[in-house]
Amino acid sequence: MILSALLTSVGINLGLCFLFFTLYSVLRKQPWNSAVYAPRQIDEEEEEEDGFFNFDMLLPSAGWVRRAWQVSEDELLCRSGLDAVVFIRIFVFSSRVFAIGGAIGIFVLLPVNYLGNQLSIDFYDLPNKNLETFSISNVNDGSNWLWVHFSAAYIFTGVVCYLLYYEYNHISLRRIASFHSSPPQPRHYTIVVRGIPSSEGRSFSEAVQAFFTDNHPSTYLSHMVVHRTSKIRSLIKDAEKLYRTLARAKSQSSQQINKKDRLLGLFQGRDTDVSHYEQKLEDLERNVRTEQHSLTVHQEVPAAFVSFKSRFGAAVALHMQQGLDPTEWLTEEAPEPRDIHWSSFSSSFMKRWISRIVVVVACVALTILFLIPVVLVQGLANLEQLETWFPFLKGILDLTIVSQIVTGYLPSLILQLFLYLVPPVMLMLSSMEGYLSSSSTEKSACTKVLWFTIWNIFFANVLSGSAFYQVNIFLEPKNIPKILAEAVPGQATFFISYVVTSGWTKLSSEISQLTSLLWSYVTGVFSSNDDEEIEVPKLPYHSEIPRILFFGLLGTTYFFLAPLILPFLLIYFCIGYITFRNQVTEL
């Protein structure tokens, strides 16, 4: 890729970023968009309604940046929890690493690379020169200037290790403080036991009581066997939703009554709605009690929540093997009630084992199939290869602007469109593995997306870009390091474009939430229920954390190979820091 093609890609993505940020700054001011841009305030009844039109509502502003910047870490902890704070700290750590690395790379390594003469350079035709002239490929073989790169690599490694220690210490103290400040929860004294062996004439509940009374007599307190209660769970969900609707209706009724322009019986309709919701809630509670009393032994599953008298007793039972058979009496930490994935309790050990094998095979197959768009993308990045595949496009590709867009922007855009499908698919596959909590499922999906990204975006692009066309060389293993040493720096230009497209533009589209906004308009047209519960969305950890870690991999890999990528990564982490602080605060 030549420098002008990269500048074209950067210009297009900067324009898209500016457009998305402008749209967000305007759309978030409109009161009817509060359900999309401020659902937490509505859910917590903090959003103030303003019925007067203000011309400033139509003007873009950067006030949200200032508000996001001013929110303290303690406020983020109280509002969104420790997970969100750790997520934001990843951006803080990455920004510090690549600020220092960028200064070394741009002011020390980049001039050394550019002044080398391994590649032919014409200083008077710089825009049309390949960006490899800014990489280590331009340094002569055996040059003494390579000691600059080696020294910079050691300095950068030391900086990363120190910052990792600092962040680990900071987050550890946060976790300890959060643990001691929170009151004891029932789940701290409880474990989940699965694989309870069945026996004739004895229920699972009796088996659990007999087993833990014999093996943990001094610490065992009580237990609760899990039942197949899909109907009860459905009723409880309806009751929770109705309770929130009732609370909102009561709040709206009291606000209307307090208005000065109160008229004759004008608010009787809202009072009638409150009474109607209260009656429906009582009926639901009555139905839940009826279903609970009708539970039978035949609805039990081989899993139970076992509670102990102390945290130490629960920890001992959790970390020791309970039975001789390793497939029975399996213990796990008890998840939070709102985080439980109830359908996984009925799955047996063998079913979970087979499901995980199937998931591994499916992930491998998806990784192999994804090589098709990767090869297509590399063909777009290489004009000569593209003209070989499609000779009829030669006349169009000879146009300067077309060639710059095709080589500089389209490859990363096409790859990003294919990558949109990966996190949902990985989350679906992880849900088949039998995890007891949604957070464990999301953690597994995060790992899968990370490995998929590393293999298919990094290694596949590197190999398909250069070494893929020299497969015969891999027949001699001693040549593999040489081929990779030549291939990795050659793909730096593609990854710069990828950071700009998948990083900058993705973050700006994330904050504007145009898809959610359009969906709210569509559902608002076809739905007449004003009391519908507003769902507060969660941060997409399973898709964002792998992207952050992958960009960190690119930065550490290309720090001394092609330091031109470092400023683009630093901008990404700075944008991500502000964007997600705003999302954590608003959402």
Three-state DSSP at 531 gives coil
**Cα(26)–Cα(33) distance, rounded to whole angstroms?**
10
**Encoded tokens for 86:** 């750790």
Tokens found for residue 526:
């076809």
Distance from chain centroid for Cα 345: 26
Tens of pLDDT, residues 229-268: 766 777 777 777 777 777 766 666 655 555 444 444 444 4
CB 329 within 8 A of CB 318: no
Q: Tell me the C-alpha distance between 406 and 377, whole Å.
A: 10
> What are the angstrom distances between the C-alpha of 467 and each of 132, 459, 490, 513, 548?
16, 11, 11, 40, 27
Query: Residue 176 and residue 179: Cα distance in Å, rounded?
Result: 5
Ranges of each domain in the chain? 3-179+353-526+535-586, 186-346
pLDDT confidence bin for 570, thresholds 50/70/90 = very high
Residue 17 pLDDT > 60, yes or no?
yes
* pLDDT band of 395, cuts 50, 70, 90: low
The DSSP secondary-structure symbol of 185 reads -
A 10 A CB-CB count for 145 gives: 14
Separation in Å, CA 219 to CA 146, 214, 408: 64, 11, 65
pLDDT of 123 strictly over 60: no
- Looking at residue 239, its pLDDT comes to 77
Select from 112, 185, 97, 135 the least CA-distant residue to 549: 97
The residue count of the chain comes to: 587
Residue 47 pLDDT exceeds 50: no
**pLDDT number for residue 156:** 95
- Please give the span between the terminal C-alpha atoms of the chain, in angstroms, as a whole number: 40
Token pair in block for residue 427: 């989350």
Neighbours of 183 (CB within 10 A): 5
Three-state SS for 130?
strand
Question: Is residue 465 predicted with pLDDT exceeding 90?
Answer: no
For the chain, counts of helices (H) and of strands (E): 27, 4
Average pLDDT in the 27-54 region? 65
What's the average model confidence in pLDDT over 514-525? Answer: 76
pLDDT of 48 reads 46
Neighbours of 381 (CB within 10 A): 24
Q: According to the model, what pLDDT value does residue 569 have?
A: 94
| Higher per-residue pLDDT: 260 or 479 | 479
DSSP state of 558: S
Helix 230-257, helix 268-293: angle, nearest 10: 160
